Amino acid sequence: MPVGIFDSGLGGLTVFNAVQKRLPDLPLLYLGDNKHTPYGVRDAQDIYDLTVQNTQYLFDQGCDLVILACNTASAVALKRMQESWIPSDKRVLGVFVPMIEAVSERNWGDNSAPREVAVQQLALFATPATVASRAFQRELSFRAVGVDVEAQPCGGLVDALEMNDLELAEAMVHSHVAALLRRMPKPQAAVLGCTHYPILEHVFQEALGPEVSVYSQGRLVAASLEDYLQRHPDMVGAAGETRCLTTGDAKDVSVAATRFLGKAMRFEAA
């Protein structure tokens, strides 16, 4: 049985790619809800309903473990899903946890009192829905004190990346970074709080300057998944093949995904 990876569109492919590199023998089933992308401008109930629907589809395909490789879904829907919907024999993990662990310098299972950490000025770039949820700030506050988080909603950036308009996307990054720097002139670190954004990590770094540490999710999530599977080997079987599915037009999404990752990608209709 494969590990499921779900995103609202192409962004989760940055996580998919990083997991493939770190765990090349692990069977994966990627599902992109390209029909309904982007999630970042939808209301909370809509995001929850779509996330549950697509997660259930992956369960039905044989996945016992699903990664929400979508920050908007992780921020808005995951907690509610864990509290009232996910079957006892299934697991759904979000992409916030590895990022929070990195910033707070502690493992998720460490329930000791919050403490001071090295990063005191932190920039967060995310979709409007993720920013509005304040989920990142809430989870970080349970583990670290004294961290000033300045969040910048990056409206339109996911759309530009889904359309493969990199010139527009790069201009948007510079605009969003400039807007944040007017409010927080000297961040020590920046979180790219959307799985689409690592494609433009170098642009964020350039706009922020070399002295700012940029946290990008793909590598962190892949390392966290490897650790989780070592502790829960029953959540994945040896058999299975890696496949990519979409709720959109498979041919169009295959072309867009190939451009997005810079390597050949083949999608099938979900």
Is residue 110 scored above 80 in pLDDT? Answer: no
Distance CA 267, CA 244 (A): 5
The pLDDT, as a whole number, for residue 239 is 67
Which residues are the active-site residues?
70, 194
Question: What pLDDT digit, counting tens, does each position of 232-269 carry?
Answer: 888 876 667 899 999 999 999 999 999 999 999 999 99
The pLDDT, as a whole number, for residue 164 is 85
The pLDDT, as a whole number, for residue 40 is 87
**Model confidence, pTM:** 0.88
Mean per-residue pLDDT, 217-233: 90
Backbone angles phi, psi at 111, to 5 degrees: -100, 20
Is residue 222 scored above 90 in pLDDT? Answer: yes
Question: What pLDDT digit, counting tens, does each position of 57-86 carry?
Answer: 999 999 999 999 998 999 899 999 999 999
Q: Where are the beta strands (DSSP E) in the chain?
A: 3-7, 28-32, 65-68, 91-94, 115-116, 121-126, 144-145, 148-153, 189-192, 213-215, 243-246, 268-269
Which domains, ranges and CATH numbers included, belong to the chain? 3-94+218-269 (3.40.50.1860), 97-216 (3.40.50.1860)
Question: What pLDDT digit, counting tens, does each position of 39-59 carry?
Answer: 988 999 999 999 999 999 999
Q: How confident is the model at residue 96 (pLDDT cuts 50, 70, 90)?
A: confident
The pLDDT, as a whole number, for residue 246 is 98
Rg of the chain over all Cα atoms, to the nearest angstrom: 18
